[in-house]
Structure 1
């Protein structure tokens, strides 16, 4: 939601909160709105026969490693006796459900949908490590009848590549893809090209893992799409772009709160902003893009280096910008009060009222946070590209991420 797109209902809620409880109530309301996405339930069902890599996929998508608390045990035999939830480590309302395969003893086909509580899931991922079975086809058709979405996910492509060392890797991948498409089309599935993804759970940087994530975002229920984007921690080029778009729409929340507080005058332009709120926004942005201290330490450890050397090598701008109060106020001072800023000034004054003299403060905050978000997202792209390059060059590094 950009400032130009703010609904009358939302604007009235902001004004009412301020009128009733002043700055405290306003900040409570804005903080609640800013974190509402964390309360939205996201349920993705993962199904398939034993040995297809359901648990491995769930671990990879949540970026959970062996030995960590929420790790889903991986086995070649059927270990799923009932629908088993696996929460995302940072966002408990984002849950992957490991479902028993269709047609197993306790889950016969005719009772399957009722027993797995079919209606609760937002999306279905149907996994296979070889060919998709008759039961897989049946489930896909039932999902379609219920007006829900699904994807076919062909796992263990790396195994196929190793078996066919007489062919180039790209040739093996396309051979597998063509075979899957041919059989799915023969069973009556239309436009299946957009529903089939080939992946290697051990390396999410290869094959169709990126495309799968992007398509999941695009086809997820609209009312939950932003919550999904902000919940993802496995970053790809398209995920980073989607996160930047979602966070840009939320900047007005931080800016209104900062302008309402109007705590610290910025040297040179005489405009007051709340530096604490700007630091809070910077912290939120960094965590979203995997640039927080803990994630950077994990990356540095995997690359056998230090965080400081990694930052220096990659010339990460966001760490310089947001490292101190001086740098943040300097960034605010560098934001031009131009014609482009007048629009956001006109937006803020009717909501907060001239009694707080918020218009100009709001404009500076929007400009400052937009610049900060751009720098952080650029750093995320830089880090992601560098990590992918290093992973592709060193098997030992790759192993550290499994």
Structure 2
């Protein structure tokens, strides 16, 4: 998609049509940011699937938008991601709680729109789980087995075993699950041990990496942005996605600047960069609402988390006025203003100079902000989750 957009932009510029180039760039960014991702989560009542849906969306069970965890579900429910509404988690009833066999179950709930399946169990995976997996495989969809409530199992093992070893206990649980699924006819099942309340522990980071590796590239970017920040690698992947979009925001800025209408470029760039900063805040979970949720979940005071945020934008409401104020600190800003005011008399050369300066300003500003905010995101997660500062 990116290469097609690049070709269309080049063609528009070759035809001396910056307006069309700007329109193509805008549409590319809109399409990229609105790619649909549909994730199905299924399992028997009490398996913890609703809690998984909530944890994956970065909210706790008490949130007003949370999937209910105390009801017996017999119908499908959808739960959009709070920051990325184009990412939807579908909470499906376990096949054992319905009257439909595995093949009819998928048809009943419209499997065609679903990108992959998460099959959750709090104990051993049952025959129905295996049958469902086999039907999903026949239809060319990916599926992953989640063995939930691992923290409970580890506590029980620690209390009952004379020589408790966490690693050995986890491996035993994993091997038992795999063996049970293989006995039911599932070939090489992928089983991940997860604690919904401590996603940074156990196999959830490995689950993220596995799903990402097996997703188409465009869907992969969407997945990376909506994943909870449970480790540094997730934050780095989000940074890569954001970084790949910077040139398009800078190009959009350049096309506007080339018009050479005094004041238009600065106003447009303030709007573009305001949007970019808000996107970074949301993606890294550094917006006010996300920080408050993280504070509640980690039981760390909000002020304690904010103290490690060093970026000049951190902790502030992103407004056009703030963006313009920060832009004035850039060495290029004076040249940029002069270009808007004084280059109108030489249209062709003036447009090229103004567009170049505007491109460089937006690119430099966005790159610097992304570097700083990604570092803040790492520091906040280290403080909140007590994770190590190395990978």
The bucket for the TM-score relative to the shorter chain is 0.7 to 0.9
Please tell me whether the aligned partners of residues 259 and 274 of structure 1 are also in contact (alpha carbons under 8 angstroms): no
Matches within 5 A, 1:12-31: 12=11, 19=17, 22=19, 29-31=24-26
How far apart are residue 297 of structure 1 and its match? 3.9
Q: Aligned residue for 2:30? A: 35
TM-score by length of 2: 0.79
SS, match of residue 164 in structure 1? helix
Matched, 1:119 2:112: yes
Please tell me whether the aligned partners of residues 44 and 93 of structure 2 are also in contact (alpha carbons under 8 angstroms): yes
SS, match of residue 82 in structure 1? coil
Q: Aligned residue for 2:360? A: 363
Gaps of 5+ in 2: 259-264, 334-347
TM-score by length of 1: 0.77
Matches within 5 A, 1:271-282: 274-282=269-277
Please tell me whether the aligned partners of residues 101 and 107 of structure 1 are also in contact (alpha carbons under 8 angstroms): no
Q: Aligned residue pairs: how many?
A: 357
SS, match of residue 35 in structure 1? helix
Gaps of 5+ in 1: 264-270, 335-352, 392-402
SS, match of residue 134 in structure 2? helix
Indicate the larger mover: 48-57 or 276-285. 276-285
Aligned-residue RMSD, C-alpha:
3.4
Q: Aligned residue for 1:9? A: 8
Q: Which digits, 9 at most, give the CA deviation of each residue in 1:1-35, with x for residues without a partner?
A: 88x9963124335777x838x4xx76565444323
Please tell me whether the aligned partners of residues 127 and 184 of structure 2 are also in contact (alpha carbons under 8 angstroms): no
Distance 1:179 1:245 in 2: 37
How far apart are residue 120 of structure 1 and its match? 2.1
How far apart are residue 213 of structure 1 and its match? 2.1
Q: Aligned residue for 1:383? A: 380
Name which of 150, 153, 156 aligns with 2:149: 156
Q: Which digits, 9 at most, give the CA deviation of each residue in 1:66-124, with x for residues without a partner?
A: 3433211113x6x2212221222223221111112224443234522221222221101
Structure-2 change in CA distance of 1:137 and 1:7 (3 Å): same
Name which of 199, 202, 205 aligns with 2:200: 205
Name which of 291, 294, 305 aligns with 2:301: 305
Structure-2 change in CA distance of 1:285 and 1:14 (3 Å): farther
SS, match of residue 373 in structure 1? helix
Distance 2:143 2:295 in 1: 37
Indicate the larger mover: 79-88 or 212-221. 212-221
Structure-2 change in CA distance of 1:10 and 1:301 (3 Å): same
Name which of 258, 277, 302 aligns with 2:253: 258
Name which of 100, 110, 114 aligns with 1:107: 100
